[in-house]
Structure 1
Amino acid sequence: MAPTTKTDSIVVIAGYGPGISASVAKKFASLGYTKIALLSRRQTKLDAAAAELVATHNISAKGFAVDLSNPTAVQTVLAAIREDLAGTIGVLFWNPYGKPQGIFDLTAEGLDNNIASSVTSLVLAVQRIVDDLAANNGAVLLTGAGLSLENDTFVQMTVDWNAATQAISKAAQRKTVHILHFALKPKGIFVGEVTVLESVKGTPFDVAQTATLTPEAVANKFAELESKRDAIFVSAP
């Protein structure tokens, strides 16, 4: 089956919010993709964001409310996306945000939800759309975090920020990215992660509002990663 064009394939933005994912959606729209699906929990937020994309980029965009920690729901919504936007999925951008909890107060439910949204739902989503991705020479792109790295500075930050659930789930995600990359490469599918090493301006971790790394800069990293396809992991900044 011949690859479809950017105008035919769908970009799925999973874990949509006003920061990195919003900038990634706009970036891919500017690169010629004309069908974009936005996923998060709140339909009203998604409807407003989709309407803005339609107005500013003259594309088809629609929001789909879903809990990314529910693998079954994620698989179901992917089928709805293909039907509603009348196409196949060419790019899956995965950007879940789980509630942070510290190592001494994390709950089993909190950790399970973070791992489900970062790993379990990701893998099952890829299983559901692997044929689409292969037909499109597609890509799976993920937002990683410096907290996932085995580096004393980032480990101390994890403790200070009470973000053990996120650090653990993002570390598991990083290994999953590595496995998926090698498993899907023979099918012509690229898998890569941008590991964000600083707080991003306007996002929940920019508590002091002193961050200098912009969502637009991170989005540019994703576009470069997908275009070059020469590295599994790149860092921002």
Structure 2
Amino acid sequence: MSRPVIVIVGAGPGVSGSVARAFARDGYDVGLLGMDADQLTGLAAELEELGATVGHTVADVTDAEATAAAIARFGEHTGHIDVLHFNPSAFREKDPLELTVPELLEDVSLGVGALLTAVQAARPYMSTGGRVTVTGSMAADKPWNKAASLGVQKAGVRNLVHSLDATLKEDGIRAVSVTVRGTLSREGAFTPDRVAEAIRAAAAQDESEWRSEVTYSG
């Protein structure tokens, strides 16, 4: 029987890298989709040392055609996608009086719209028991006005996850966002590894008590 597969959209050295390692340790093979070739190559080597088979593709996830094609290649190669993890967001330090509408829409395209692309592309390869996980943030509820678009992205992606979960659950696939109520740090409760464990636990929720939003407060 083939190993389970996780595809990570927005893969890099932070939380997404920790998510990849956490699932690799659990016996998953991994597909990585991200912007930085060197980061992807380095992360892939780490995952292979953990026993995972790894594929990686460099793509701008706001390019719907390229993103969908990359995810389809992962799915066609493995035959299935068991977990889809979505991580990207845009940090733009502009308050609401500085932020332009095109800038806001560009950021939302990355932090929210790309999730639609990813799920729609992965869906043909997902079946009962499949999971969609999303890195959320307290910015959804308590935005920092100096980075106004980030709060909009995180509120929007959480809302979209609720709709995805309601749509996918009829086929036994569930979606969850993990709202991280703290600032990422190198030590303490909010290291990328600790957040990744919260995401892994959210994906493993008992379906009879499933919540499409889980809060991680450390």
Give the alignment's TM-score, normalised by structure 2. Answer: 0.90
| Partner residue in 2 for 1:220 | 197
- Greater shift after overlay, 165-174 or 101-110? 101-110
Asked if the contact 1:199/1:211 (under 8 Å) is kept, the reply is no
Q: Structure 2: how far apart are the matches of 1:71 and 1:121?
A: 7
Residue of structure 1 equivalent to 2:137: 145
State how 1:1-237 maps to structure 2 within 5 Å: 7-33=2-28, 35-55=29-49, 57-83=50-76, 85-102=77-94, 103-134=96-127, 137-149=129-141, 154-155=142-143, 158-159=144-145, 162-202=146-186, 212-229=189-206, 230-237=210-217
CA offset digits 1:43-86 (Å, max 9, x no partner): 1210111011102x111112211112222221111122234x43
Counterpart CA distance in 1 for 2:100 and 2:135 is 24
User: Matched residue of 1:121: which SS?
Assistant: helix
**Aligned partners of 1:43, 1:119: CA distance in 2, in Å?**
23
* Unpaired runs of at least 5, structure 2: none
Write out the 4+ residue segments of structure 1 that deviate beyond 4 Å after TM superposition. Answer: none
What is the Cα deviation at residue 212 of structure 1? 4.7
- RMSD, aligned α-carbons: 1.8
> How far 1:116 moved relative to its partner?
1.2
Q: 1:205 corresponds to which residue? A: none
- SS of the equivalent of 1:170 reads helix
CA distance in 2: counterparts of 1:98 and 1:37, whole angstroms: 22
Cα offset for 1:176? Answer: 0.4
Letter in 2 for 1:213: F
The question of whether the paired residues in 2 share the 8 Å contact of 1:71 and 1:116 is answered with no
Give the Cα–Cα distance (whole angstroms) in 2 for the partners of residues 67 and 109 of structure 1. 18
User: Matches of 1:127 and 1:12 in 2, distance apart?
Assistant: 13
2:139–2:151 contact (8 Å) kept in structure 1? yes
Q: Deviations over 1:16-60 (max 9, x none)?
A: 122211111111111121x201111111210111011102x1111
1:120 shift after superposition: 1.8
Q: Which residue identity does 1:186 align to in structure 2?
A: E
Secondary structure at 2:73's aligned position in 1?
A: helix
Name the aligned partner's letter for residue 212 of structure 2.
I
Paired with 1:142 and 1:32, the residues of 2 have a C-alpha distance of 20
Shift of the alpha carbon at 1:211? 6.8
Paired with 1:22 and 1:146, the residues of 2 have a C-alpha distance of: 21
Measured in 2, the distance between the counterparts of 1:16 and 1:180 equals 21
Give, in angstroms, the shift of residue 109 of structure 1: 3.5
Q: In the alignment, residue 193 of structure 2 is paired with which amino acid?
A: E
1:122 CA displacement: 1.1
Secondary structure of 1:69's counterpart equals coil
